[in-house]
Amino acid sequence: MSSPYFSPLLSRFDWLDHAFMAAGERPAAGTRYNQQRHSARVILDVDALPVKSQDADGLIGTGQDAVAIYTADCLPILLADSRQQQVAAVHGGLKGILGGVLINAITHLCERGATPDSLFIAIGPAIGPCCYELGQDVIDRAEQDDPHHLAALMSWSATPWPNPASVRSQAQGTTAGVWFDLPLLAKRIALRAGVPEEQIELSQICTYCMAEEQASYRRNSHVQQGYQQRFSWIARR
């Protein structure tokens, strides 16, 4: 993968544009994004200037300017509200997802006139359960400190899921831990919030073993080939 990924789900709407850009590509001038801290904070685009002046991991678009997030292995999540024609971008690392960043984004959109059944959510390229190893201690802490009651939604395996679509070797275990499915956790959070399943899309592109070589922070920590941020953006036309 060396070109942008476009969500089939979001591409059906003629009132918005979006892209999950290739690693290293920069968004257009005027795009708004925050300083990301793996937090649960979600803000409006009117509060996001100058760029990276705010610490937040979710951004709701109220005007015509694109809102964006940047990732390496974390979840890039783009949301569209067909009722009010709102858009949002969420950076979803494990800490932020467990802390409630996606929950907060859905809540804020609904407070502004969306309903769960008017939301369409696309989760772009991110590390998959084929390559995302976590220590068992991380799982134990997440289950103990669980303010949003997400433990029952988490999915992991003692062995990595085989990925027949991989274009390079999957990650090798280094912690004798578990292999975690972060995209599925985000999907289940959205389902629990009332978003219809057919309105939630997972790209199924693993940044470690399927995307361009410098797309994965974790892969770089294993093979030292460098990594570059991936910007994902969405805008109303």
Among 219, 222, 140, 153, residue whose Cα is nearest residue 183 = 153
User: How far, in Å, CA of 9 to CA of 82, rounded?
Assistant: 12
What pLDDT, on a 0 to 100 scale, did the predictor assign at position 140?
95
Neighbours of 148 (CB within 10 A): 16
Burial class (CB in 10 A: 0-12, 13-18, 19+), 69: buried
Angle at 222 between CA 137 and CA 102, to 5 degrees: 55
Q: Which residue has the tokens 């015509």?
A: 64
- Provide the whole-model pTM: 0.97
| pLDDT tens, position by position, 69-82 | 999 999 999 999 99
pLDDT tens across 125-164, in order?
Answer: 999 999 999 999 999 999 999 999 999 999 999 999 999 9
Q: Answer yes or no: are the C-beta atoms of 92 and 79 closer than 8 Å.
A: no
Tell me what pLDDT residue 29 has.
95
For the cut 60, the answer to whether the pLDDT of residue 1 exceeds it is no
176 has pLDDT over 90: no
Mean pLDDT, rounded, for 75-97: 98
Query: 183 pLDDT exceeds 90?
Result: yes
**Helix boundaries (H) for 129-201:** 136-144, 182-192
pLDDT of residue 177: 92
Q: Which percentage of the chain shows pLDDT scores above 90?
A: 95
Torsion of CA 88, 94, 98, 100, to 10 degrees: -20
Give tens-digit pLDDT for 11-56: 999 999 999 999 999 999 999 999 999 999 999 999 999 999 999 9
In a 3-state reduction of DSSP, which class is residue 46?
helix
Tell me what pLDDT residue 80 has: 98
Query: What is the model's pLDDT at position 213?
Result: 87
pLDDT > 70? residue 113: yes
CB 56 within 8 A of CB 43: yes
Decide if pLDDT at 86 tops 60. yes
Say how far apart CA 88 and CA 233 lie, in whole Å. Answer: 9
CA–CA dist 76, 68 (Å, integer): 9
Residue 2 has pLDDT above 90, yes or no: no
Per-residue pLDDT at 225? 84
* CA–CA separation, 121 and 87 (whole Å): 10
Whether the Cβ atoms of residue 176 and residue 159 lie closer than 8 Å to each other: no
SS3 content of the chain, % helix, strand, coil (to 5): 25, 25, 50
